[in-house]
Amino acid sequence: MITLYGIKNCDTVQRARKRLDAEGIAYRFHDFKRDRLSHELAQRWIDALGVDAVVNRKGTTWHKLDDAKRAGLTTTDAAALLAREPSLVRRPVIDRDGALSVGFAKVDEDAIVARLR
């Protein structure tokens, strides 16, 4: 089973969903705004991929954080922060039976889709 995690209004998430739909790849969409993000799931992603891969440091939510929170972000407190502020997650996160990928860069799109088939 494939689960695509993200925010429905995010351009990258919209592009990923459109591409998966066009390819006929079935998935379940988990919208962070509606369904939230659990601390446990965020921690699993961080353990598997690392903080740097999961946290979106380019978005507005990151830049709105105070300097102390940004500077002090560690593996131990990142999951709690992501659960409180799911907009900080680099999107989309795609989980195919436990195999995770983060992001949907145009340059990587074909390779990501191929792995999901």
| In the chain, % of residues over pLDDT 90 | 83
- Tokens standing for residue 56: 């979106």
74: which 2 tokens?
A: 């560690």
Q: Which pLDDT band holds residue 66 (cuts at 50, 70, 90)?
A: confident
Which residue range forms the structural domain that includes residue 92? 2-116
- The 3-state DSSP class for residue 60 equals helix
Distance CA 45, CA 78 (A): 11
Q: How many domains does the chain have?
A: 1
CATH of the domain at 109: 3.40.30.10
pTM of the model: 0.92
Angle between helices 39-49 and 75-84 (to 10 degrees): 140
pLDDT at 53: 95
Residues with a catalytic annotation lie at 10
pLDDT, residue 49, reads 96
pLDDT digits (tens, 9 = 90+) for 19-40: 999 999 999 999 999 999 999 9
Is 76 a residue whose pLDDT tops 80?
Answer: no
Residue 44 structure tokens? 């699993």
Q: Which two tokens stand for residue 98?
A: 């436990």
Yes or no: say if 2 and 90 are a contact pair by the CB < 8 Å rule.
no
Q: Which residues pair with 96 in a beta bridge?
A: 2, 99
Q: Which helix (H) or strand (E) holds 77?
A: helix 75-84
